[in-house]
Structure 1
Amino acid sequence: MLDTLAAALQRLPPAPRWLIGLSGGLDSHVLLHGLHGLVRSQAFPPLIAVHVHHGLSPHADQWQAHCESLCRDLGIPLQVLGVDAGPAAGESPEAAARAARYRAIAAVMQSGEVLLTAHHRRDQAETLLLQLLRGAGPAGLAAMPRLKPFGPGWQARPLLDLDRDTLADHARKAGLVWVEDDSNTDPRFDRNLLRQAVMPRLRARWPSVDVTLSRAAMLQAEAQDLLAERAREDLEQVRGRASGTLSVVGLAGLRRPRLRNALRGWLQDKGLPMPGRARLESLIEQMLKAGPDACPRVAWAGAEVRRYRDDLHAMRPLVPVDVGQVWQWTPTAPLQLPELGITLDPAVLRSIWGLDPSILTVPLTVGFRRGGEVIRWRGETRSLKKLLQEAGIPPWERDRLPLIHVDEQLVAVWGMLPGPQD
């Protein structure tokens, strides 16, 4: 086992530190024990264990104490992270706990660090079957990659080529003691039902099913790599006029399978969640068939796509703003607008908008569009609405641009750059 683990670790990218996700169960304890021996004997990065306290089980405190004892005996630092892992309405408890766990770990990682998790070959086989039952395509059927970007660094699974029986045999020979999560036997969870009722029957008929399914996941990963490469090639050809957008005309020239593949690649590059097949088809129909003056929007959990003119824009759902909100600003210091995630800097008013420094000594009023605004622009008074249209600023952004007034006069529009003197 240790030879396989060592070989997997040798393939990892250079890192300032490794973090091991430690639950206290058999799998993560074996990984911790193996890493402890290898890190001492080879030139591997320093190791720290991370335990996430979900608070979902009455035994959670005992599991934390067990992990503390293990790490103390091995002389490995341990960081305990407490999370609220309660599921939202309609959310799977498994998915909620997993998401909370990974968010907490990513938040404490530094650039280039690697999180090591103890997923093994049986986990891989189960994941592929679960994805198949959910109707996943190659990306889902590729199951769990050995290495993937995670937070500011990486997540690695160095035990994927090992069967759980191998890990259990190592644990018994090494005299390891581990905890058992009682939720792992609850058949209400899909993975547990698969693990307890389905996989034993498959192994009885096809003893090498775990190896076979893991190989199938690897082949799907290769297919997904080819699809991703094709998506990158197509996306280069269908760039929109605005940065990060896609051209509707360009997309319309792709066959439907390539179009879907390109859109998935685009969304993935932006770090947005994937829509389901039906929502993706709805997106294609609405965006490609909309009239030139329409601004359709298609949204799903965690993402939305909007069209303006020939460009498709993808983003996190915009947080509503109170368009009636007004701030008083004496621009001797920056003004933070957390609702918009921006900070107004007086230096920009001077350098970009060329405002007289004497104006910047009086309180300014900052607010949003209400209609009918005009502004002095390159020697003439212009309608702000017309200027925003000419600048190609999408409608949903226009209503979120801070307008800066001196008394009743509009003197600057934040985000509408370059300013009138350029």
Structure 2
Amino acid sequence: MTYRVKSDFLSVVVERGFLADCTDLQGLDEALLAGVVPAYIGYDATAKSLHVGHLLNVMLLRWFQKTGGKPITLMGGGTTKVGDPSFRSEERPLLTPQAIDDNIASMQRVFARYLDYGEGATGALMLNNAEWLDGLNYLDFLRDIGRHFSVNRMLSFESVKSRLDREQSLSFLEFNYMILQAYDFLELYRRYGCLLQMGGSDQWGNIVNGIDLTRRVLEREIFGLTTPLLTTSDGRKMGKSASGAVWLDAAMLSPYEFWQFWRNTTDADVGRFLKLYTELPVAECDRLGRLDGAGINEAKIVLANEVTGLLHGPEAAAAAEATAREVFEKGGVGEDLPTLALSAAEVGDGISVVQLIVRSGLAASGKEAKRLIADQGARLNDAPLTDPGLMLDAAALAEPVKLSAGRKRHALVVLADQ
């Protein structure tokens, strides 16, 4: 018989599609019903910003707080120095301590949009595992913690096994990562009474390690919950666009481009994404997801507005929609389009349209830009672009130039000196 959850948080998790697996669903449900439960998700500081691939679990933390839990965002100031080998084909490049600190400071701004770090029983905590990892004595750690881990079992985890099966190198440094992450869970329980670790389903082995370690060292039962690893209905990895990662920091991706990513959602994904990435009632998400024709396009605008509003604010979402309508419905330029500003020196006697397409982010390479032109997918000021050898001089750029790749991706090119 399938267990029916009773707590508010797990009801949301099940109903909205966040649940992939849980180590003890009934035990966790009972703990949530008994009082405020601290739970954490870990984030290594490998980039200056979180991206859309992180957003599912950020929303999970937000729901956790909204339903009475105490969320912990654990920044990997210590573990980033090692690097998570999970499903990586090669070792991550090692970052300096200063770069790690800078990345953490940048990521904190994104978390503050979704979580309340104020005082109180459910106030979120931002912690850094360097606090306990940086000062570890290696011999003591091996004796007290390392003895609880079986190398045979660690080799069986899919994240490690997949690397070894492909005969790809796995350094001893990376192999230590799963022990350090397990130790994080133990320390968070000791220091903050943290009962739950959450994460993507690729983190299942690491989460179970932490639960086993805490049981062995402290004889305490704690819990793990994972979310599904999302792909779009057409098989693409969630969070990737044609021009690269979809960053959550406005300095790395404009609110308009972020809005446009969601507006371009495949029809079949609209209902599912509304439930995962917005706070609209489930019945409304289902209703919008069932629409077709012009209706599903309006549902995509609702999705884009809701997700962008949570991250960048309702005003940014409204401005992005206004720009999109100006560009798509009226054929205009739109003030909020991604803009490439060129100096007169950069333009010189002329700059190729292929180079402009690449530099504006509409194509990843010159070869891709030329293919776009050959396939009749490129436009210049809304007119078909057919000549890959076209050069634009300062006179041609006296007014902003609009470049388009397909019907949905646009950018402006302007002279910065104007």
Say whether the fold is shared (TM-score over 0.5).
Answer: no
Query: RCO (CA 8 Å, sep 6+): is it higher in 1 or 2?
Result: 2
Which has the larger helix fraction? Answer: 2
TM-score normalized by the length of structure 2: 0.29
Name the larger-Rg structure.
1
